[in-house]
Structure 1
Amino acid sequence: MPTVSKWGAVAATAVSLAALAGSASASHDPYSPARGIGTGRTEAIRLTSTSTGTTVVDNGTSGPGIGDQIIITANLFRNGAAYGTEGAVCTRVAADSTLCSGTFSLPRGQISWQHLKTTPIGTPPSDFDIAITGGTGAYATVRGYAHIARIAESGGALTLYLLR
């Protein structure tokens, strides 16, 4: 069975990152909320995460390859305080591509996300965006993206740019 530290643990843990920190100014941010998500009320939420579990499923031929999956769970934090959880599944869909989807479960609802990332097997992704695909509760009409800025096997940091 592949080791937990391969491509998915880091990729999914990256999305499990977070410490929600209120609205952010877009003035000096290259990943401003206005970047390609239209007009309306925007909110930037900074999160950190700590991994609570990673399971590698070796599908198909033995060893790393297409069809392998990594299931990740994490605790989410806002300004250092517990703020929610995240669950994600990443599937290797090509030798250099991983398709991931997941959900952030926050106090006011859930936010779902998805991305297709090109990263060779064994290479963790870094500094990338994921699409916000929907939500529930206070996030029922949300759209936008999240920028993953820092990744580690144990957790990381990201910013959600939400448009309502």
Structure 2
Amino acid sequence: MVSHSNSKWAMAAATALSLATLAGSASASGKAHTLDRHGYVKRTEVIRLTSTGTGTTMVDNGAPGRGIGDQIIITADLFRRGIGYGTEGAVCTRVSADTTHCTGTFSLRRGQVTWQHLQTTPVGSPPSDFDLAVTGGTGAYATARGYGHVEAISQSGGALTLYLVR
């Protein structure tokens, strides 16, 4: 059964994940990190964006009502300094009464960045600030790894900072 929901939890989850949960400016820090095992200099690129949710769909899998296997599908527009910068798509699957496993992709101007995280949140509460793992990418982000920090979560949007090591 698929249902569209405007519940606080669904909207907050959408916002939190839209980087679901992202804003500000994108810049390469220019600071070299240690050499990797092949002798290449690693650099961290910091990208700040804001997000605005464009859709949230709840899928009730298994037994009727909230339970393991239920999913939240999330889409969002991403902005840099108020100008459209990309989109995001994510799917969160409930893996226990108060825990979801989420995977998603940010489609940015220079390529895509994939991510995932496991979030435990008390039932009925929106997720709070959290980190997510960058799991890969394409285009300019093909060798990226690192993490993102999601913050400033509200029902209308969120902010995310990506720390990409390349």
Of residues 23, 36, 46 in structure 2, which corresponds to 1:19? 23
Identity of aligned residues (%): 70
In 2, the alpha carbon distance for the partners of 1:41 and 1:126 equals 29
Query: 4+ residue stretches of structure 1 with deviation over 3 A?
Result: 1-4, 6-9
Question: Does the CA contact (< 8 Å) of 1:84 and 1:105 recur in 2?
Answer: yes
In 1, the alpha carbon distance for the partners of 2:91 and 2:24 equals 22
Shift of 1:152: 1.9
Residue ranges of structure 2 left out of the alignment (5+ in a row): 34-40
Match of 2:48 in 1: 46
Of residues 155, 158, 161 in structure 2, which corresponds to 1:156? 158
Deviation digits for residues 5-57 of structure 1, max 9, x if unmatched?
253442232121322512387xxxxxxxx8xxxx7200111110111111010
In 2, the alpha carbon distance for the partners of 1:85 and 1:106 equals 7
**Does the C-alpha gap of structure 1 residues 124 and 98 become closer, same or farther in structure 2, counting only changes over 3 Å?**
same
Of residues 118, 121, 143 in structure 1, which corresponds to 2:120? 118
Of residues 68, 78, 81 in structure 1, which corresponds to 2:83? 81
In 2, the alpha carbon distance for the partners of 1:20 and 1:59 equals 37
Residue ranges of structure 1 left out of the alignment (5+ in a row): 26-33
Q: How many residues align?
A: 152
The CA RMSD measured in Å over matched residues stands at 1.9
TM-score by length of 1: 0.85
* Rg comparison, structure with higher value: 2
Question: Does the CA contact (< 8 Å) of 2:49 and 2:80 recur in 1?
Answer: yes
Question: Does the CA contact (< 8 Å) of 2:87 and 2:106 recur in 1?
Answer: yes
TM-score by length of 2: 0.84
